[in-house]
Amino acid sequence: MEKVNHKYGAEQIQVLEGLEAVRKRPGMYIGSTSIRGLHHCVYEIVDNGVDEALAGYCTEINVIIEPGNIISVEDNGRGIPVEIHPKTGISTAETVYTVLHAGGKFGGDSGYKVSGGLHGVGASVVNALSTWTEVTIKRDGSLYQMKFEKGKTTQKLEKIGEAEGTGTKVRFLADNTIFESLEYEYEVLEKRFREIAFLTKGLKITIEDKREETPKKSEFCFEGGLISFVEYLNKNKEKLHKSPIYVEKNGETPVEIAIQYTTSYSENIYTFVNNINTIEGGTHLEGFKRALTKVFNDYARSHNILKEKDPNLQGEDIREGITAVVSVKVKEPQFEGQTKTKLGNSEVTGIVQSMVNESLSTFLEENPSVAKAILEKCISASRAREAARKARELARKKSSLETSTLPGKLADCSSKNPDECEVYIVEGDSAGGSAKQGRDRKFQAILPLWGKMLNVEKARADKIYGNDKLNPVILAVGAGIGRDFDITKIRYGKVIIMADADVDGAHIRTLLLTFFFRYMRPLIENGNVYLAQPPLYKLSKKGMEDKYCYTDEDLERAYKELEEKGISRDQLGLQRYKGLGEMNPEQLWETTMDPEKRTLIKVTMEDAIKSDEIFTLLMGDEVEPRRDFIQANAKYVKNLDI
Ligand code: 1YM
């Protein structure tokens, strides 16, 4: 190996320039240098192991977050090839880790790279962005190792011992001068690996967090693949049929789909291309939806479930209550859209469509009771859609007759400019009263809410319009709901939920977030929804300005700060606020509403999705998971209530 020294050859210079470019513009290669980009590095390395599993050579991948935020990924595949690469004159393994885009094309004829990220070419990028990287390979009975610093080779691949079996182990420490933080989030990695395990039938993935004294560990392996995925997604829902429907087709562009209907009213279709979650959908989703609509309408007609005079069922009727996972493998995927998660390859529409047309209609013919259960639900959805349309029209007519259809309880602001206006949605009358008195009425509106909570889980759009708790919110926001929602019509740039830090507060927050998520999603996507942060404590002392603390940590910090100024704990008065209602208008303004002083939390789509999940759990039909959740969270409930 020493004989071939290309250190100063043209190709090696190109290599160094290539990796330098990665360090200069990391965002171009991994999206961003935030925590998201950091996690992406782990996925890049894991993906190489997943590719090896998809090629049929690897059954297990073990990921460890070691103390000091070092990542270790080990697989039991063939091991990265070690022989000298004819083009670069260095070992293939070193080539993979130092030459940009040295993915599959160096790898013989194992076929195309199918797993996620940068299509398996990310190893060199991760290497370039790491303080150090260490790669250990077991192959042909030998143990090999090579090392790098900031992408540059510090130890060329050399044999360091004997080995049993085969595999690759990569350890790296991401560069803290490049990434904003190195604190990996266990739950985020865990979720992604669970997803990969669902998508790669039979592959065992473990993740372990050894940073804390009590290590965490999860293990995922699903013999059922997508079927297990759908069962997992539906675990808290009442199903319309016992087992998920599964259809697959191998070939140039393999397609795999699992479907199960539940009694819920939402539509949950997850799509993946080469194991990447295509959040924005694309041609594969299009093909799936078209086929679904056609197959169910054809079945309903040929079995006289839809009569001649009846109109066709619409796509949305047929997707009500559906949970489905669509996974396709595409050789040269084109990703489009804002976040590059929309499949653009036009040929995929037809491939998915004809495959679903064929297999799903066969399935329905062979399983008439399942077909009947689903179609009954579709027909009732179409009736509800018609009723909702009528309700909407009525609401529209009403609003064009009366120009001011604002809810009676709304204390509106005087400005009409949405960019500067905000509405506080407040639980309870007494808090609403304080908020009304304490606000700046020029730009702050208050909407108090009370009354029986509506179970959005069990209501369709037609019921929402008539609901006395949600209707005021719809009217105040002023932009409609569902398909009619028009973000350009919103009356307030900030919609702020202000609720107590207790169980009831959590309840109303979850309800409103779920409602916004399901019926005014653009409001969240556009960043218009916020949570107010009322203080939990007040520290006071004669001659000292009151100090408000928003968390227990805040309180400890304040105590320490004051101690340093010579003020001891027993000199201070401590008030714990049980609810917003205990604060007088001035206090509420000062702590929670004054734009100069308050802290608002902007709600993200992730928060909303989490709320939706919790909501399904708390309000859905299944009793057992609800009990589990409440038991698991009982300790928080206690903390909040004292
Ligand atoms: C923990 C990370 O990188 N495993 C891995 C990578 C490769 C192979 C096996 C492999 C691929 C091929 C042939 C092939 C890679 N090899 C290459 C390249 N785990 C991890 N396991 N033999 C082994 O694709 O033909 C790139 S990745 F290019 F060298 F073949």
- CATH of residue 271's domain is 3.30.230.10
Which atom of ligand 1 is the closest one to the Cα of 95?
29
Q: Indicate which CATH number applies to the domain containing 72.
A: 3.30.565.10
Q: Is the pTM of this model over 0.85?
A: no
**Confidence at residue 502, expressed as pLDDT on a 0 to 100 scale:** 76
Residue 549 inside a domain? The answer is: no
Pick the closest to residue 225 from 244, 238, 250, 210 (CA basis): 244
Dist. CA 52 → ligand 1 center (Å): 7
pLDDT category, 106, cuts 50, 70, 90? Answer: very low
Using DSSP's 3-state secondary structure scheme, residue 580 falls into helix
The residue whose CA has the least distance to atom 15 of ligand 1 is: 80
Of residues 12 and 129, the one with the higher pLDDT is: 129
Segment (H or E) for 292: helix 283-302
Is residue 135 in a domain? Answer: yes
Return the SS3 of 277: strand
Q: Which of 107, 113, 153 is nearest to 130 (CA)?
A: 153
Q: Do both 201 and 268 map to the same domain?
A: no
Nearest to 82 by CA among 70, 64, 94, 71: 94
Q: % helix / strand / coil in the chain, to the nearest 5?
A: 40, 20, 35
Q: Is the CB of 114 within 6 Å of ligand 1?
A: no
Which one-letter amino acid corresponds to residue 523? L
Whether 332 and 365 map to the same domain: the answer is: yes
> Region 77-106: what's the mean pLDDT?
85
Alpha carbon separation from 618 to 272, 457, 499, 622, 633 (Å, rounded): 29, 10, 19, 9, 12
Same domain as 174, residue 193: yes
Does 459 map to a domain? yes
In Å, how far are 17, 339, 388, 537, 641 from 638, measured between CA atoms? 58, 41, 41, 17, 5
Atom of ligand 1 nearest to the CA of 92: 29
pLDDT reading at 80 higher than 80:
yes
Domain boundary among 332, 352, 385: 385
Q: Is residue 578 part of a domain?
A: no
- The closest residue, in CA terms, to atom 29 on ligand 1 is 107
Q: Is residue 330 included in any domain, yes or no?
A: yes
Task: For ligand 1, say whether the CB of 108 is within 6 Å of any of its atoms.
Answer: yes
Same-domain status, 106 and 190: yes
Mean of the per-residue pLDDT values for the chain?
A: 87
Helices (H) and strands (E) in the chain, counts: 20, 23
pLDDT of residue 112: 41
Helices (H), ranges, 31-73: 35-54
End-to-end CA distance of the chain: 70
Residue 576 lies in a domain: no
CA of 215 to the centre of ligand 1 (A): 30
Give the nearest ligand 1 atom to 167 CA.
21
Report the C-alpha dihedral over residues 473, 475, 476, 478, rounded to 10 degrees.
120
Residues that are catalytic: 427, 500, 502, 504
Residue 410 domain-assigned (yes or no): yes
Higher pLDDT, 42 or 608: 42
> Could you tell me the two tokens for 215?
């290590």
Q: Is the pLDDT of residue 500 over 70?
A: yes
pLDDT over threshold 70, residue 570: yes
Q: What is the CATH number of the domain that holds 453?
A: 3.40.50.670
Together in a domain, 441 and 526: yes
Ligand 1 centroid to 102 CA: how many Å? 11
Percent share of the chain, pLDDT over 90: 65
Mean pLDDT computed over 539-544: 93
pLDDT of 625 over the 70 cut: no
Q: Is the dihedral of CA 316, 317, 318, 321 positive or negative?
A: positive
Domain-located, residue 12:
no
Please tell me the residue having the least CA distance from ligand 1 atom 19. Answer: 49
CA separation, residue 539 to residues 195, 431, 519, 568 (Å)? 47, 21, 41, 12
Nearest CA-CA partner of 224 in 215, 212, 232 = 232
- Single residue among 353, 385, 417 that ends a domain in this structure: 385
Q: In angstroms, rounded to a whole number, what is the distance separating the alpha carbons of residues 533 and 420?
A: 20
**pLDDT higher than 70, residue 621:** no
Q: What is the mean pLDDT of residues 76-95?
A: 95
User: pLDDT value at position 67?
Assistant: 97
Residue 136 has a CB neighbour count (10 Å cut-off) of 20
Residue 179 CA: distances (Å) to CA of 38, 130, 173, 603: 7, 10, 11, 24
Name all contacts of 490-493 with Cβ < 8 Å and 24+ positions apart: 490/418, 490/523, 490/528, 491/416, 491/418, 491/421, 491/423, 492/418, 492/421, 492/422, 492/423, 492/445, 492/528, 493/418, 493/419, 493/420, 493/421, 493/422, 493/528
Residues 316 and 412 in one domain: no
Residues 45, 85: one domain?
yes
Q: Tokens for 405, please give them.
A: 């259809």
Whether ligand 1 lies within 6 angstroms of the CB of 92 is answered as: yes
What is the band of 116 on the pLDDT scale with cuts at 50, 70, 90?
very low
Helix/strand/coil for 352: helix
- What is the CA angle 161-162-165, rounded to 5? 135
Can you tell me which residue has the tokens 């977030």? 513
Neighbours of 253 (CB within 10 A): 17
Same structural domain, 487 and 381: no
Rounded Cα–Cα distance for residues 320 and 370 (Å)? 15
- Cβ contacts of residue 8 below 8 Å, gap of 6+? none
Are 491 and 465 within 8 A, CB to CB?
no
186 with 333, same domain? no
Using CB atoms within 10 Å of the CB of residue 325, give its burial: 0 to 12 exposed, 13 to 18 middle, 19+ buried.
buried
Over the stretch 542-558, which tens digit does the pLDDT of each residue have?
999 999 998 888 999 99
pLDDT tens-digit profile of 368-403?
999 999 999 999 999 888 887 877 777 666 655 444
The domain total for the chain is 3
Write down how long the chain is. 642
For the residues 209-237, what does the mean pLDDT come to?
Answer: 95
Q: What is the mean pLDDT of residues 584-588?
A: 93
CA angle in degrees (0–180, nearest 5) for 173-179-181: 85
Domain that holds residue 283: 226-385
**219 Cα to the center of ligand 1, angstroms:** 23
Cα 48 to ligand 1 centre (Å): 6
Three-state DSSP class for 451?
Answer: coil
Instruction: Report d(CA 127, CA 23) in Å as an integer.
Output: 10
Kindly state whether residues 429 and 377 are assigned to the same domain. Answer: no
Q: Are residues 189 and 255 in the same domain?
A: no
Q: Phi/psi of residue 154, each to 5°? A: -110, -20
Cβ-contact 502, 579 below 8 angstroms: yes
Q: What is the mean pLDDT of residues 570-599?
A: 91
Torsion of CA 584, 590, 594, 597, to 10 degrees: -150
Q: Of the residues 160, 189, 220, which one is the last residue of a structural domain? A: 220
Per the CB < 8 A criterion, the answer to whether 384 and 316 are in contact is: no
Specify whether 247 is located in the same domain as 127: no
